A and B are shown apart, each in its own frame.
Chain A
Amino acid sequence: MEIRVTENGDYITLSLKGRLDFASSSNLKEEILKRVAQGRNRIILNLAQIDFINSSGLETLVSILKEVRLAKGRLLLSNLASYVEEIFEITQLSHIFEIYPSEAEAHEALTASRVNVS
């Protein structure tokens, strides 16, 4: 799986490409936790180019979500293909994750929450 990180002011976007499974998920977790440790805890995961995800990938995302929340950050998912979204729905993880149709909408949600807080 390829991970492309984009710095966007007060949040970062990680664009993922390929398979999110048992083999690749540890790299993703490592990459995100490294950023969280640096204080970059507002994160958008763009899954547009994820063509496969299974329960191992989901477990990792849940684990990352918990770590990000512990750091008082937010993890938003965007651009899920319909079949990837279905996996989130049938496992009911769509109720746990913040999922947006596009990166722009995820960004809006981050911005809106910041306005509300202040």
Chain B
Amino acid sequence: MSGQVYKLTIFPEKDHFGRCYAVASEVARRLGFDPEEEFRFAVCVSEAYTNAFIHGNKSNPSKSINVVFAWDEETVRVDVEDQGEAKPEALHLDDSRPDIDCEKSGGRGVGILKLFADKMEVDERREGGLRVSISFRLRKKNSQVGVQLQKTNGGVNGNQSN
């Protein structure tokens, strides 16, 4: 994908879920998403991040997660990379629908990803861990591709490149 890339490395410090959500919302807003699209986008990034933390890194506080936003005029893709040892099967990718069994837990996150995102892929990273990639089509021409995302603090480190 040619365009812009913004990469965050998030460490599981205080309110790291909130930080991931806030950055995803900010990216969505700057890409011109309406509030409903912004919500869906932020939910998907949050689901992928939560999966990476719980199922990938097993909630290990010493392991970080990369969240990479890449966008051009047609698509935005988010790669969420953990440092764990889980296999793609651990994400229940074969579930065709979200879990509707009240007695069971799990499975809903992937269901939400599948329904909200236009495309979802999972692969194993050469350096170890899983990469979950979710893509969204941009419905209108993005006039703010050159968006600057400089706000970094606490457990979030980010950088942007073309």
Q: How far is the CB of B54 from chain A (nearest CB, A)?
A: 7
Complex contact B17–A22 (CB within 8 A): yes
User: B15 — nearest CB in chain A belongs to which residue?
Assistant: A23
Asked if A62 and B47 make an inter-chain contact with CB atoms under 8 angstroms apart, the answer reads no
CA distance A66 to B105 in the complex (A): 12
Number of A-B contacts (CB under 8 A): 69
**A48 lies within 8 A of chain B by Cβ:** no
**A70 CB-CB contact with B under 8 Å:** no
A98 at interface, CB cutoff 8 A: no
Q: How far is the CB of B118 from chain A (nearest CB, A)?
A: 15
Cβ of A19 and Cβ of B18 under 8 Å apart?
yes
CB distance from A104 to the nearest CB of B (A): 26
Whether B108 pairs with A21 at a CB distance below 8 angstroms is no
**With an 8 A cutoff between CB atoms, is A115 at the interface?**
no
Give chain B interface residues in 31-54, CB to chain A under 8 Å. Answer: 35-36, 39-40, 42-43, 46-47, 50, 53-54
CA A42 to CA B50, docked complex, whole Å? 31
A58: min CB distance to chain B, Å: 6
Contact A83 B18 (CB under 8 A): no
Judged by a CB distance under 8 angstroms, whether A55 is at the interface is yes
Contact with A along B103-123 (1 / 0, CB 8 A): 001101101100110000000
B1 at the interface (CB under 8 A from A): no
A90 touches B98 (CB 8 A): yes
B90 at the interface (CB under 8 A from A): no
Interface size range of chain B in the complex: 20 to 34
Q: Are B18 and A23 in contact (CB under 8 A)?
A: yes
Q: Contact at A66–B98, with CB atoms within 8 Å?
A: no
Residues of chain A contacted by B53 (CB below 8 angstroms): 22
Judge whether B69 is part of the interface by a CB distance below 8 angstroms.
no
Residue of A nearest to B14 (CB): A23
Q: Which residues of A contact B18 (CB under 8 A)?
A: 19, 21, 23
Q: Is A71 an interface residue (CB 8 A)?
A: no
Whether B112 lies near A91 (C-beta < 8 A) is yes
Residues of A near B102 (CB, < 8 A) are: 62, 65-66, 96
- Whether B21 contacts A19 by the Cβ 8 Å rule is yes
Q: How far is the CB of B132 from chain A (nearest CB, A)?
A: 14
Question: Could you name 29 residue pairs across A and B whose Cβ atoms are closer than 8 Å?
Answer: A19-B18, A19-B21, A21-B17, A21-B21, A22-B50, A23-B17, A52-B39, A52-B42, A52-B46, A54-B47, A55-B47, A55-B108, A55-B109, A55-B111, A56-B50, A56-B109, A59-B105, A59-B106, A59-B108, A62-B105, A66-B102, A83-B36, A83-B40, A87-B112, A91-B100, A92-B100, A93-B100, A95-B100, A96-B100
**4 tightest CB-CB pairs across the interface, nearest first?**
A55-B109, A55-B108, A83-B39, A92-B100
